[in-house]
């Protein structure tokens, strides 16, 4: 819990020299269990912890485009859960082995601001209009433009899931068809300026609805089918969306000058 209201802004992330591939300024060992602060657009957010990046997590389905390095490895810590009961809430101990993000549902009330800022950074990269943002740097890896299109659509899908959870009891979160959308929606042929504007709009729409949630609303749930069929609270959905935005921002930064430390102004 954020016991001190100033805690979320008084410790800004200072990337270490060995943290080129981590958006949270974590070192290559990543195993100190120290809190990291997500610094986006001048804000420091407490939404993840650095844990050991070694693990047995298998490859995640291609949320980042098909490429071996573009698939974050997720490790689940699910004590006592067999997958047979939808109402068995999964513990908030889930991490991405690639970027070090650990889900912390206590930070859910901060999600709206973090998501707005992360989407704004990604939109700013598109507005730079650098040559090649719409081209794939290597076979099987999405281009920065395609990643941005995915984040835009993901935010809109998450918003609909949130609204469904407020209307219905335990609605099913149908898969968004992330890989199929790349071709069906023609991501590679979309205009940078249009996607940047749409990305900002999608983030604002989702963040607006997050900001309207009451304490009771945060406990409403949806049924997720990945990685196991399980009931997830809106707190988890908000933190999961932060991870999506942050991880794909890292995917894009890896493909532009300055690498993971590049922040457009």
pLDDT at residue 259, as a whole number:
59
Q: Is the pLDDT of residue 253 over 50?
A: yes
Top-level class of domain 5-260:
mainly alpha
**Predicted TM-score of the model (pTM):** 0.68
What per-residue confidence (pLDDT) applies to 97? 84
Residue 217 near residue 166 (C-beta atoms within 8 A) = yes
- Is residue 165 predicted with pLDDT exceeding 90? yes
pLDDT score recorded for residue 163? 98
Burial of 225 (0-12, 13-18, 19+ CB in 10 A): exposed
Asked whether the predicted pLDDT for residue 212 surpasses 80, the reply is yes
Is the pLDDT at 148 greater than 50? The verdict is yes
E-assigned strand segments in 64-187? 74-76, 94-96
Residue 146 pLDDT grade (very low, low, confident, very high; cuts 50, 70, 90): very high
**How far, in Å, are 77, 101, 104, 176, 262 from residue 93 at the CA level?**
6, 10, 8, 24, 30
């Amino acid at each position: 819990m954020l016991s001190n209201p100033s805690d979320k802004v008084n410790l800004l992330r200072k990337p270490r020299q060995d943290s080129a591939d981590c958006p949270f300024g974590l070192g290559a060992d990543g195993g100190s269990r120290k809190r990291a602060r997500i610094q986006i657009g001048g804000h420091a957010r407490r939404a993840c912890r650095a844990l050991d990046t070694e693990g047995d997590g298998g490859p995640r389905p291609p949320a980042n485009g098909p490429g071996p390095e573009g698939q974050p490895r997720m490790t689940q810590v699910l004590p006592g859960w067999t997958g047979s009961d939808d109402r068995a809430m999964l513990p908030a101990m889930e991490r991405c082995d690639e970027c070090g993000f650990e889900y912390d549902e206590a930070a859910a009330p901060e999600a709206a601001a973090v998501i707005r800022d992360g989407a704004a950074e990604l939109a700013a990269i598109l507005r730079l209009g650098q040559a090649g943002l719409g081209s794939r740097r290597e076979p099987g890896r999405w281009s920065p433009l395609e990643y941005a299109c995915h984040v835009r659509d993901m935010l809109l899908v998450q918003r609909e899931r949130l609204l469904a959870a407020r209307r219905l009891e335990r609605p099913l979160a149908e898969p968004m068809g992330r890989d199929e959308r790349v071709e069906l929606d023609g991501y590679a042929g979309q205009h940078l300026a249009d996607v940047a504007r749409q990305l900002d709009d999608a983030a604002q729409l989702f963040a607006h609805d997050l900001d309207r949630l009451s304490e009771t609303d945060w406990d409403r749930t949806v049924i997720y089918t990945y990685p196991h069929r399980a009931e997830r609270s809106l707190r988890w959905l908000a933190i999961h969306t932060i991870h999506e935005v942050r991880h794909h921002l890292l995917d894009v930064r890896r493909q532009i000058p300055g690498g993971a430390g590049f922040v457009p102004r």
